[in-house]
Structure 1
Amino acid sequence: MQKLRWLFLLTLVYGQLHAQQTTRLTGNWEFLKQDAGGIWEVVRPVGKGNPESVPLWQNVQLPHCVNAEDAVDPDVNYYQGPAWYRTQLEINNPYSNGRTLLFFEGAGQKTDVYVYTTKVGSHTGGYDEFTVDITDAVAAFKKLPVYQSQFKGKIPVSIKTDNTRDLELIPSGLSDFNVYGGIYRYLNLVYLPPVAIDKLFAKAETDKTGKVGTVQVTARFYPVSGMNAPVSIKLFDANGKVVQQKEVTPAALTGDVHLTDFTVKTPQLWSPQSPVLYTVEATVTTAEGTFVQKEKIGFRNFEFVDHGPFLLNSQRLLLRGTHRHEDHAGVGAAMTEDMMRREMIMMKEMGVNFIRLGHYQQSRIILNLCDSLGILVWEEIPWCRGGLGGPVYQGQARRMLTNMIEQHYNHPAVIIWGMGNENDWPGDQPEFDKEKIRNFMRELNTLSHQLDPSRKTAIRRCDFCKDIVDVYSPSIWAGWYRGVFTEYKQVTEEEFKKVNHFLHVEWGGDSHAGRHAENPDKALQVVKTGNGADERAGDASLFGGAARVSKDGDWSETYLCNLVDWHLKEQETMPWLTGSAQWPFKDFSTPVRPDNPVPYMNQKGVVERDLTKKEAYYVFQSYWTTKPMAHIYGHTWPVRWGNEGEEKMIKVYSNCAEAELFVNGKSYGVKKRNSQDFPAAGLRWNVPLSAGMQQVKVIAKNGKTVLSDSISFTYQTSKWSKPAKLLLEKIGEENGIATMQVKLLDEKGVPCLDAANWIRFGLAGDGKLIDNQGTPSGSRYVQAYNGRAIIRVQTNGGHSVISAQREGLTTVFKDI
């Protein structure tokens, strides 16, 4: 029922753009992944099938990312350069003297827009919204003979995007994420009457008691001369009932026009537990048309207590957070609304009440979801790494900060505007001047407070600027880049004391989905302690430097679960803690990690790039959720290993009060949950195992609620030597998709269950490898997980031959 309630709330907020007459332009687009010789080459009419029709275009749907696949292609650098999109639109604005706009929800990183051969607008900045007015260009084109003779009454629209590397733009090319190209968010055709609102600002606040709410309503109108109009402003409660209504006629429609104020007694407060949303509606009426704009708002107050916890509506709230990159398997940054909804609901079901949107402002759809699901937000501009550029660079940062705040001003979920990330990371500029960086940080901090005094400012990992912003997050990676995870609480408390307002964002570690370990903490034996837990230059490298888990660990899901388990256990004993945010929710693509087990992937997510859950997801759920759950560790661990009769730990992650474990039908007793009994909050059993199949079941109880989970695995006692051959087999086929698995065997044919060798898949024939997905089972070049690797093949109803190769071994083939 709770999930259905969320879905109902989501339907209330989707699709609210700047006007009633708005159309998403998703279909009938052509795409060119290169530059054209000029706009005439893009729009000139050339018959289909004509051999002179070069360059070659392909049909695509929007949103579309230039780097949907090459971002994770193991054999090439991802494309950074110009690309073109073109279509032909039927444009018939119903409003006399109205405006026709193209409203971009985001495109990267530079955008030029043309109507026929006329350039009508440009934008720089890959992550903020912008509009291009095409009214005059459309009217002019309709007067040309080609309008009817060659374009049959349609308007040719062409759009050039460009993500070419540029040291005078943010984000830096040194950033640990792809700087994508393309129209990767929704593009909309908008018809406006002559008098219309560009932005409606609705500032909702309460006093600390929460008993009185106020709303200040301000509008910014599209430029209009010599006109005036009455405006009706209504405030609706969460049930759609009108709470208050006012009629005003502004003296002028220029600048930011204050329309009215509302006062609400005992408003329903917005919170993660109860994300109640009100609606402000402004209606502008003239003889030439009516314009209506709606904005969702929420009443809440918050406070970062000096050297203390975080308060929401005057009550302590431990911020239980994660992070999000705009990145998904198969599409890059071009996530659909359905993909975004699924991702954010999964976060909420994991127990998240806070998210940092790294490292750039994100889709309005995500902000709407945070409002309706009850997820507090830290959103930041992409001043990320690289140092500080010149006037063009700084101008873009100011502009993007202004756009971010104005475009997302009304969202009750937002509590923090981020000024930057890792600004202590040099490299893009010949000069790295800390004082100049400090001065610019002060400027951005001042600008943020001028635009929005109600929110806090923050940065992460730039110690020489930590005194400038309201909230600071140092670098703490206990148990991954530095130190061991048992140092987490001590290091955090030391950093907490250094600033007035502390919030720990970015912690966790990488895990190669499907890789598990019998001795996951082995690497901790060689890691030095007492030397801090921050990330330093070179720590992300898999080669050289001091011993660290990120380099010397096994990258198993088993280790990550232990690290997460310890952090969450400790957080329950830190009453002064504002909160933290694990990095990140989902694996994402990055150009600076070509050597990772899935090349070009940051694998620190608790779900894979296609949203498949890893084991760590359930560890968070066991601490952060109240809905009863129980999960036996190892659903993706088909074969465990050890000696005959050796005791092996079987862990259950659950928020239930008690649980009973059964192995092959035998009970191993009831355990009581105790969050401080590490690991698995005491829900662990040491069970002697014999060779063969094992059937494991848990029955968990929480009051009258009883639930269960079960897994099966093979226990292998045969010892193996080094890998000597490969075995390739088909392990399933469904809906025209064949699942292929390769195993590494020793010379006697024994599976090498700890093998992590690189595997390369190939295919010839009618089918197609489903690769370049950025997942362990969706990459043609990948490290094995427990001596095996999986790839899927779209068979296309034909005959194919798949190969698996490992350097030094004989390549194997299999007919499909």
Structure 2
Amino acid sequence: MKQRLTEHWEHYRGSLGGVWEVWRSDKLQNHYNVPWESVTLPHTYNGYDVMDPDHTYYQGQGWYRNKLDIHNPYPKGRTLLHFEGAGQRTDVYIYTEKVGSHLGGYDEFTVDISEAIERAQGIDRYAGQVPVAIACDNSRELETIPSDASDFNLYGGVYRYLNLVYVPQISLAQVHVETHVDNVSAQKARSGQVKVRAKLYNPVGITENISLTIVLKGKDGSVVEQAELSSPTWQDEQEIAVFEVPNPHLWSVSDPYLYEISVTLRCEDGEMTSQERFGFRTFEFVKQGPFKLNGERLLLRGTHRHEDHAAVGAAMTENMIREEMQLIKEMGANFIRLGHYQQSRIVLDLCDELGILVWEEIPWCRGGLGGPAYRQQCIDMLTAMISQHYNHPSVILWGLGNENDWECDFDYFDQQEIRTFMKRLHDLSHELDPNRLTAIRRCEFCKDIIDIYSPSIWAGWYRGVYTDYESSCQTAFENVDSFFHMEWGADNLPTRHVEKPYTGFSLMQNADGVTDERDGDYLLTGGEPRVSRDGDWSETYFCEMIDWYLKSQEKMEWLTGAAQWSFKDFATPVRPDSPIPYLNMKGIVERDLTPKEAFYVFQSYWSDKPMVRIYGHTMPVRWGMEGERKLIKVYSNAEQVELFLNGQSLGAKQRDSQDFPCAGLRWETVLTAGEYHLRAEAVCNGEIVSDELRFTYQSEAWGEPNEIKLTTETLTDGRVYVEVRAYDANGVFCPNASEFVRFGLAGDGKLLDNLGTIRGSRQVQLAGGRAGIYVDTCGGLPAGITVTDFVSAGGPASSIAVSKRAAQQRYISVISAACEGMSTVTAIIEVMK
């Protein structure tokens, strides 16, 4: 019996000095009270501060407390707290008694609180309730993984679900299902075998006979096979059943068929049932060749995922996770690398259900190699990951590390020591799971140790140009037995579009095809020329790069696959200078899952669902010379698309994936200043699909941004959207302005900021000459909204304050001020009563 513990929790961020402080006020009513905050689990105390542009995020202790009603139905049963993940070190208390600890922010763990409950229930003031306290700590320690040099935040808190579990005196600790299939061809198998192994939880060493019923069911719930077993209790893991299954239904990315094993244990104290889903499938990475699933070649089309979301950080709810994984599948992906740590069981369940193959890894990420405790944590986390996710048919690769050639955490760096330890992890992985392979990314001196290797190839971003992509992959492919390209892409600020994207073709033409990322390439200053430093960070460039990569991959018959980095923008402590500070902006969707234009480029190559998308939905203004011929791009998986401009057909185009860009779905037309309406229509698999957008074409030339204007719009939900736009000295809109702006607020209300999105960040670069943010008025009117514009040198150029004239009336306030670097600044704000 399992119950999620989500409600009635209280939280305090900071050190309390000891667990007694959690409960002291319950006994000493007149004593100083710690300011506890009501929260719902899952929860992290870094939900907002990781995106604060002015401070580094908090790393330290955080406390949680609750008073639980415990009613174990088993006479001699055990009561457990099952953590699906908490970061990064966790201590668990019943009242002031420490009952368990765990090191590691990403694997599951269980704490038995049975005896401690009996002692705590005797405390009169809690009236039979059980006081539970949890201390989490994400303070930096060099001798732990992951390294703080990693490109992601180490969240603190109970940021995955916490469960209260009741089991009988003897119970099932884990059930592993191992499958084998024979004579596989044409996605079919003649026979399959299922081996079921179980481990008992018997903490007090009861010796008695137990009985087991093992039932194998199909996806529809029908019973395929069944077995009974009576046995004395045992230690460790033991095989409890073997089933032969004729003509098993194979699991695949297009038909993710899942069987279920149900194991019911009966002992003198009662009975319990454990249910595990699994699938039959085979896979192979052909030596210096492609990938095969169930005997047939499959191009792995992938992305990456971090456990990170606007406003909640790592504490994503099941609904949030489900929405994200569904979007990944709708994009057309059939593979995902879970970077760079074991992720929620919900993610793995969804990969099984949706048909998404998985590379999952431990967080030995950058920094080097520490001492005995450091290495033991790596071993423990690898063991836990394999044991806890063993039954998922979606998992094909166990990742042993990432960028382990990145030196920084210790005053020593021994490549041979890293090689020796990598071999130890490789051997352990195969000992724990002989049926899956090992993998790492970017550690050239270890590539001969593991089964599958991905070098660092960032053609067109950290090194080289994107047209070097195929040749770079070919060279890397020839130097390893099994090549799999992990991580490629480009940072892109949502809603930033350009007419002519920076490609770096001319500047980097003498780079001799070098495309690997090197330490420090992510920095925005110094080093050799590179698009990541010198480019425009636009969605326009990102889409063109993706377009080139995807059309190339279609013709690389030897390619196992590739995975773009990363599906969603995510918070990171190592990128304070990003256009949205502390954000890795390589996402296909924003941090709140709002799709960018790139999402539809992927769909046009990967998805079977009919679609058509005109590029530029978040580009309300296009610009150029009067009468200039401009390119209009459409992405679609239809064979033919027709485009209409202001109701007039510009003709139909045939799709050809090798006709770059847009697979040939592009039109040139003359534009003059004015308003335009575009509509694209296509027929795909008998279904009519269409898309439309409107834009303004600006032909009037502009100079340097000299003036900013502020407007507001009151939304139906009560929020106010505040937008700033840049203009030159003559009042002409500057659609390519990219200076930083900072929003501020005084008085009633609050900025909805620190979200890491284009409209949820108080410091952000202009995109398309605009920037905006939402304001929660909290039932009143703000006393002042400020916008500060920064000149390119980085210093403040202007500040604008809009004062409240009268709280009870609708008003417009206009203020002009002279400032250094700008002759006039005008702010216009309209606030609704």
Distance 1:705 1:773 in 2: 38
Q: What secondary structure sits across from 1:494 in the alignment?
A: helix
Are 1:640 and 1:715, in contact at CA under 8 Å, matched by a contact in 2? yes
Q: What secondary structure sits across from 1:230 in the alignment?
A: strand
Q: How does 1:355-434 map to 2 (within 5 A)?
A: 355-434=336-415
Read off the aligned partner of 1:254 and give its amino acid letter. Answer: Q
| Structure 1 residue 308 corresponds to structure 2 residue 289 | yes
- The equivalent residue for 1:54 is 33
Q: What secondary structure sits across from 2:110 in the alignment?
A: strand
Distance 1:619 1:530 in 2: 29
- The equivalent residue for 1:139 is 118
Read off the aligned partner of 2:788 and give its amino acid letter. Answer: Q
Distance 2:338 2:373 in 1: 24
Read off the aligned partner of 2:482 and give its amino acid letter. Answer: H
Q: Which runs of 5+ in 1 are unaligned?
A: 1-20
- How much has 1:703 moved relative to structure 2? 5.2
Read off the aligned partner of 2:450 and give its amino acid letter. Answer: V
Change (3 A) 1:46 1:749: farther
- How much has 1:285 moved relative to structure 2? 1.1
Tell me the C-alpha RMSD between the 2 structures.
1.2
Q: 1:191 aligns with which of 148, 152, 166?
A: 166
Q: What secondary structure sits across from 2:57 in the alignment?
A: coil
Question: Which deviations, in whole Å up to 9, do the C-alpha atoms of 1:422-453 show, x marking residues without a partner?
Answer: 00000101110000000000000000000000
- The equivalent residue for 1:4 is none
- The equivalent residue for 1:258 is 239
- How much has 1:52 moved relative to structure 2? 4.1
Question: Which deviations, in whole Å up to 9, do the C-alpha atoms of 1:568-626 show, x marking residues without a partner?
Answer: 00011111100000001000000000000010000001000000000000000000011
- Of 662-671 and 335-344, more deviation after overlay is shown by 662-671
- The equivalent residue for 1:28 is 8
Q: How does 1:774-813 map to 2 (within 5 A)?
A: 774-800=756-782, 801-806=784-789, 807-813=796-802
| Structure 1 residue 211 corresponds to structure 2 residue 190 | yes
Distance 1:232 1:739 in 2: 60
Distance 1:309 1:218 in 2: 33
| Structure 1 residue 574 corresponds to structure 2 residue 563 | no
Distance 1:283 1:423 in 2: 44
Q: 1:598 aligns with which of 580, 583, 603?
A: 580
- How much has 1:26 moved relative to structure 2? 0.4
Distance 1:201 1:679 in 2: 48
- How much has 1:732 moved relative to structure 2? 4.5
Read off the aligned partner of 1:329 and give its amino acid letter. Answer: A
| Structure 1 residue 86 corresponds to structure 2 residue 90 | no
- How much has 1:810 moved relative to structure 2? 4.3
Distance 1:354 1:211 in 2: 26
| Structure 1 residue 151 corresponds to structure 2 residue 126 | yes
Change (3 A) 1:693 1:292: same
Q: How does 1:53-132 map to 2 (within 5 A)?
A: 53-132=32-111
Distance 1:563 1:278 in 2: 40
Q: TM-score, normalised on structure 2?
A: 0.94
Read off the aligned partner of 2:180 and give its amino acid letter. Answer: E
Alignment size in residue pairs: 791
Q: 1:40 aligns with which of 3, 6, 20?
A: 20
| Larger relative strand fraction | 2
- The equivalent residue for 1:746 is 728
Q: 2:315 aligns with which of 322, 329, 334?
A: 334
What's the % identity of the aligned pairs? 54
Question: Which deviations, in whole Å up to 9, do the C-alpha atoms of 1:77-136 show, x marking residues without a partner?
Answer: 000011100110011111011000000000000000000110000000000000000001
- The equivalent residue for 1:534 is 516
Distance 1:104 1:522 in 2: 47
- The equivalent residue for 2:156 is 181
Distance 2:46 2:182 in 1: 47
Read off the aligned partner of 1:230 and give its amino acid letter. Answer: S
Are 1:229 and 1:249, in contact at CA under 8 Å, matched by a contact in 2? yes
Are 2:210 and 2:233, in contact at CA under 8 Å, matched by a contact in 1? no
Distance 1:786 1:762 in 2: 21
Q: What secondary structure sits across from 2:424 in the alignment?
A: helix
Distance 2:716 2:575 in 1: 33
Stretches of 4+ moved more than 6 A in 1? none
- The equivalent residue for 1:7 is none
- The equivalent residue for 1:5 is none
- The equivalent residue for 1:17 is none
Distance 1:190 1:64 in 2: 20
- How much has 1:227 moved relative to structure 2? 2.1
Change (3 A) 1:52 1:638: farther
| Structure 1 residue 669 corresponds to structure 2 residue 641 | no
Question: Which deviations, in whole Å up to 9, do the C-alpha atoms of 1:149-174 show, x marking residues without a partner?
Answer: x1122111000000000000000010
Distance 2:83 2:112 in 1: 11
Question: Which deviations, in whole Å up to 9, do the C-alpha atoms of 1:398-425 show, x marking residues without a partner?
Answer: 0000000000000000000000000000
Q: How does 1:440-479 map to 2 (within 5 A)?
A: 440-479=421-460
Q: What secondary structure sits across from 1:660 in the alignment?
A: strand
Question: Which deviations, in whole Å up to 9, do the C-alpha atoms of 1:688-739 show, x marking residues without a partner?
Answer: 1111111011111235322110000111111111111110001341201111
- The equivalent residue for 2:814 is none
Distance 1:391 1:794 in 2: 51
Q: How does 1:705-744 map to 2 (within 5 A)?
A: 705-744=687-726
- How much has 1:56 moved relative to structure 2? 1.2
- The equivalent residue for 1:514 is 495
Q: What secondary structure sits across from 1:180 in the alignment?
A: coil
Distance 2:310 2:565 in 1: 18
- How much has 1:205 moved relative to structure 2? 2.3
Are 2:138 and 2:154, in contact at CA under 8 Å, matched by a contact in 1? yes
- How much has 1:51 moved relative to structure 2? 7.5
- The equivalent residue for 2:813 is none
Distance 1:595 1:699 in 2: 41
Read off the aligned partner of 1:65 and give its amino acid letter. Answer: T
Are 2:465 and 2:504, in contact at CA under 8 Å, matched by a contact in 1? no
Question: Which deviations, in whole Å up to 9, do the C-alpha atoms of 1:327-358 show, x marking residues without a partner?
Answer: 00000000000000000000000001000000
Q: 2:146 aligns with which of 171, 183, 200?
A: 171
Distance 1:215 1:607 in 2: 40
Q: 2:483 aligns with which of 496, 502, 520?
A: 502
Are 1:805 and 1:812, in contact at CA under 8 Å, matched by a contact in 2? no
- How much has 1:767 moved relative to structure 2? 1.2
Are 1:802 and 1:815, in contact at CA under 8 Å, matched by a contact in 2? no
- The equivalent residue for 1:8 is none
Are 1:47 and 1:53, in contact at CA under 8 Å, matched by a contact in 2? no
- How much has 1:228 moved relative to structure 2? 2.2
Distance 1:793 1:63 in 2: 26
Question: Which deviations, in whole Å up to 9, do the C-alpha atoms of 1:384-411 show, x marking residues without a partner?
Answer: 0000000000000000000000000000
Are 1:207 and 1:301, in contact at CA under 8 Å, matched by a contact in 2? no
